[in-house]
Structure 1
Amino acid sequence: METVSQSPSVMMAEDRSSTEPSSDPNPCPICLASVVEESYLDQCFHKFCFNCIVRWTSIVASKRSCAPSSFKCPLCKTENFSIIYGYDGTSFQQHYIGRSVRNRSDFFSEAHRYRLKCYYSDPGNLADKLQVSRYWKFRKYLQQNHFLPNWLRREIQALMQEEDVDIIMHHVVGVIDSLRRNWLKNSRNSTETAQKEFRLSVSEAARPFLTGRTERFVNESELFLASGLNIDAFDKAYTEHLGWKIPGIEHDEPLEHIPAVPYLYILDEDSDGDGN
Structure 2
Amino acid sequence: MAEDERSRVAPESSSSPNPNPCPICLGPITQDSYLDQCFHKFCFNCIVRWTNIIASKHSCGPSSVKCPLCKTENLSIVYGFDGSSFQRHYVNRDLRNSEFFSEAHRYRLKCYYTEPGNLADKVKVSSYWKSHKYRQQNRWLHDWLRREIQAVTQEEDVDIIVHHIFGVIDSFRRDAVKHSKISTETKQEEFKLLVSQAVRPFLMGRSDRFVYELELFLASGLKIDAFDRVYIKHLGWNIPEISKGEEEEEEPDGTHEHEPSIPYLYILDQDSDDN
TM-score tier by shorter-chain length is 0.5 to 0.7
Which whole-Å deviations, capped at 9, do the CAs of 1:12-48 have from their partners, x for residues lacking one?
Answer: 2xx435xxxxxxxxxxxxx238x6xxx587xxxxxx9
- For 1:190-269, list aligned pairs within 5 A: 190-251=183-244, 258-260=251-253
Structure 1 letter corresponding to 2:153: M
Structure 1 gap segments, 5+ residues each: 1-6, 18-30, 42-47, 83-95, 263-276
Secondary structure of 1:121's aligned partner = coil
**Partner of residue 32, structure 1:** 28
One-letter amino acid of the structure 1 residue matched with residue 28 of structure 2 = L
Give the letter aligned to residue 220 of structure 2. Answer: S
Does the CA-based 8 Å contact 2:140-2:224 persist in structure 1? yes
Q: CA deviation at 1:65?
A: 7.9
Q: How many angstroms apart in 2 are the aligned matches of 1:49 and 1:254?
A: 46
Q: Secondary structure at the match of 1:249?
A: helix
Q: 1:32 is aligned with what amino acid?
A: P
Rounded Cα–Cα distance in structure 1 between residues aligned with 2:71 and 2:227? 45
1:43-122 alignment runs, 5 A limit = 50-52=44-46, 54=48, 59=67, 78=83, 81-82=86-87, 96=88, 99-100=90-91, 103-104=94-95, 105-122=98-115
Write the letter of the residue equivalent to 1:139.
Answer: H
Aligned residues of 1:112 and 1:154 also touching (Cα < 8 A): yes
Structure 1 CA distance for aligned equivalents of residues 218 and 159 of structure 2: 19
Please list the CA deviations of residues 209-256 of structure 1 after superposition, one character each: whole Å capped at 9, or x if unmatched: 11111111111001000111110110000000000111322357889x
CA distance in 2 between counterparts of 1:190 and 1:148 reads 24
| CA displacement at 1:122 relative to structure 2 | 0.6
Structure 2: which 5+ runs fail to align?
Answer: 1-17, 34-41, 52-64, 256-275
Question: Does structure 1 retain, via aligned residues, the 8 Å contact 2:67–2:73?
Answer: no
Q: Deviations over 1:86-143 (max 9, x none)?
A: xxxxxxxxxx15x215522311100000000000001000000000010011111010
Match of 2:25 in 1: 16
Instruction: Name the structure 1 match of 2:36.
Output: none
User: Please, which of 165, 172, 176 is the counterpart of residue 172 of structure 1?
Assistant: 165
1:86 counterpart residue number: none
| TM superposition score normalised by structure 1 | 0.66
Q: CA deviation at 1:166?
A: 1.2
Counterparts of 1:200 and 1:71, CA distance in 2? 28
User: What's the Cα RMSD here?
Assistant: 3.6
1:187 and 2:171 equivalent? no
**Aligned counterparts of 1:61 and 1:185: Cα–Cα separation in 2:** 59
Measured after TM superposition, the shift of residue 50 of structure 1 is 3.2
Letter in 2 for 1:228: G
The question of 1:157 aligning with 2:161 is answered no
Is contact 1:8–1:59 with CA below 8 Å preserved after alignment? no
Contact 1:110 1:247 in 2 (8 A): no
Conserved in 1, the CA contact under 8 Å of 2:109 and 2:151?
yes
**Residues 11 and 110 of structure 1, relative CA distance in 2, 3 Å threshold:** closer
Change (3 A) 1:134 1:11: closer
**Do the aligned partners of 1:240 and 1:251 also contact (CA within 8 Å) in 2?**
no
- Residue equivalent to 1:141: 134
Give the Cα separation in 2 of the matches to 1:123 and 1:61. Answer: 42
Q: Secondary structure at the match of 2:243?
A: coil
TM-score (norm 2): 0.66
Distance 2:225 2:200 in 1: 26
Tell me: higher relative CO, structure 1 or 2? Use CA pairs within 8 A at least 6 residues apart: 2
Bigger mean CA offset, 158-167 vs 146-155: 158-167
Letter of the aligned partner of 1:145 in structure 2?
A: N
